[in-house]
Amino acid sequence: MIILAIETSCDETAVAIVEFKKNKVKILSDIISSQVKAHSKYGGVVPALASRMHLKNMVPVLRRAFQKAEIDRNKIDYIAITKGPGLIPALMIGVGAAKALSYSLNKPLVAINHLEGHIYANWLKKSVKLKVCKVKSQDKNNYELQKPELPILCLIVSGGHTQLVLMKKDLNYKIIGETVDDAAGEAFDKVAKLLGFAYPGGPLIEKAAKKGDRNKFNFTRPMMNSKNYNFSFSGLKTAVLYEVRGNCRDEAMPRLYSEQYQTDIAASFQQAVIDVLISKTIKAAREYKVKSILLGGGVSANKELQKQLEETINKKIPNTEYRIPNINLTTDNALMIAVAAYYNIIGKKNIKDWKSVKADANLRL
């Protein structure tokens, strides 16, 4: 089965053409055109600009995906599209393109939830191939599908979402907790802005934090001990704001901060986020007696979060499988949408006629 997947929920125009044969996955093409540079000067994603750039990039990205895949277009069996959630002006461009392809190629459309993509990114494992000299190497175009053991708990941490999702069955999701205000990635981006870092701030905070002292500032850990599995990051961001403003009278010149001060703030802030995420995840994993814990979304690229969660699982719930997506599958991409679509197709879910598919900014799992 060959799936062409399109993803335009935020600021990446992405197309992947992927072949599935039982549990073997061959990436025929996987193209991502990032708009990060264009949005960086505004300190965040500007929806109208994202929409214009998706419109400009959609056909060139599709053309490159087809060229790279070197297949006859009629060999494609399904068109998969991110229906939501995300920025509506951005989603609409991808949905429009997917509908046009579905109509012109006369192939069904599979409408996918973006967060389902972040979850299913964890089903992909790189194939290891033996070279002639018997050195093992990872094959970048070939993956295998490996289903984690159910029940599964997924911690989705992205720029738009922070959710704990319980999967007791395939394609079945229960949101057991989520943020009541800012998403974790959003908090990373806002704190980065306070420190004068560029957008997206997550990777820059992580880099700065490596040189800082995580115990220097004892920032609040909002809702860490609340009885539910919800999160809140807005108060933490405000705590950082007060600390930073208190230290520098001229708000317009954050570069006046010393490097040590910036790195200590970054490390202390990052640790506060990690503590809350880990504490809630372990608590939920115990209560729901899950067999696997998965990380997903842009913030899952954070090595410190990956490492500390792994250490805590090994210490507190050692028989639980722990998975993180391959680094190229942490932030937005179309490959994860193709994988989620494959499972939806097998489960006979969300296969639509092009006429009935609409973008939905607030789509829930």
Tell me the torsion sign for CA atoms 263, 268, 269, 275: positive
Reported in sequence order, the residue ranges of 131-213 that DSSP labels E, i.e. its strands, are: 136-145, 152-157, 162-167, 174-178
| Minimum CB distance to ligand KG4, residue 303 (Å) | 7
| Minimum CB distance to Zn ion, residue 118 (Å) | 6
What gap in Å lies between CA 193 and CA 201, rounded to an integer?
7
If the CB atoms of residues 76 and 298 are measured against ligand KG4, the closer one turns out to be 298
Provide Rg for the chain, Cα atoms: 21
With beta carbons less than 8 A apart as the criterion, state whether 20 and 342 touch.
yes
What gap in Å lies between CA 91 and CA 364, rounded to an integer?
15
Residue 159 makes contact with ligand KG4 by CB under 6 A: yes
Site for Zn ion in 305-344 (CB under 5 A): 332
What gap in Å lies between CA 195 and CA 286, rounded to an integer?
37
| Minimum CB distance to Zn ion, residue 161 (Å) | 8
Segment contacting ligand KG4 by CB under 6 A, of 284-292, 293-301, 334-342, 344-352: 293-301
| Minimum CB distance to ligand KG4, residue 273 (Å) | 8
12 forms bridges with which residues in the sheet? 34
Site for Zn ion in 141-170 (CB under 5 A): 158
Among 94, 117, 200, 212, contact with ligand KG4 (rule: CB under 6 A): 200
Amino acid at 97: A
| From the list Zn ion, ligand KG4, none, partner contacted by residue 30 (C-beta under 5 to 8 A by kind) | none
81 forms bridges with which residues in the sheet? 6, 111
295 forms bridges with which residues in the sheet? 155
Residue 96 makes contact with ligand KG4 by CB under 6 A: no
24 forms bridges with which residues in the sheet? 21, 144
| From the list Zn ion, ligand KG4, none, partner contacted by residue 200 (C-beta under 5 to 8 A by kind) | ligand KG4
CA 284 vs CA 85, 197, 277: distances in Å:
24, 34, 11
Structural tokens at position 332: 């937005």
What gap in Å lies between CA 112 and CA 244, rounded to an integer?
41
What gap in Å lies between CA 341 and CA 360, rounded to an integer?
17
If the CB atoms of residues 84 and 160 are measured against ligand KG4, the closer one turns out to be 160
Segment contacting ligand KG4 by CB under 6 A, of 76-84, 88-96, 185-193, 279-287: 185-193
Residue 185 makes contact with ligand KG4 by CB under 6 A: yes
What gap in Å lies between CA 351 and CA 248, rounded to an integer?
55
Among 19, 116, 264, 332, contact with ligand KG4 (rule: CB under 6 A): 332
Which of 63, 82, 113, 98 has its CA nearest to residue 8? 82
| Minimum CB distance to Zn ion, residue 12 (Å) | 9
Residue 203 makes contact with ligand KG4 by CB under 6 A: yes
Tell me the torsion sign for CA atoms 94, 41, 326, 67: positive
Which of 119, 72, 155, 174 has its CA nearest to residue 343? 119
Size of the site for Zn ion (CB under 5 A): 2
Q: Would you give the binding string for ligand KG4 spanning residues 8-37, x where CB under 6 A is met?
A: --x---------------------------
Size of the site for ligand KG4 (CB under 6 A): 19
| From the list ligand KG4, Zn ion, none, partner contacted by residue 202 (C-beta under 5 to 8 A by kind) | ligand KG4
If the CB atoms of residues 220 and 328 are measured against ligand KG4, the closer one turns out to be 328
Residue 268 makes contact with ligand KG4 by CB under 6 A: no
| From the list ligand KG4, Zn ion, none, partner contacted by residue 302 (C-beta under 5 to 8 A by kind) | ligand KG4
Residue 117 makes contact with ligand KG4 by CB under 6 A: no
| From the list Zn ion, ligand KG4, none, partner contacted by residue 188 (C-beta under 5 to 8 A by kind) | ligand KG4
Phi, psi angles (nearest 5°) of residue 332: -60, 140
Please give the residue ranges that form the binding site for Zn ion (CB under 5 A): 158, 332
Please give the residue ranges that form the binding site for ligand KG4 (CB under 6 A): 10, 158-160, 185, 188-189, 200-203, 206, 297-299, 301-302, 331-332
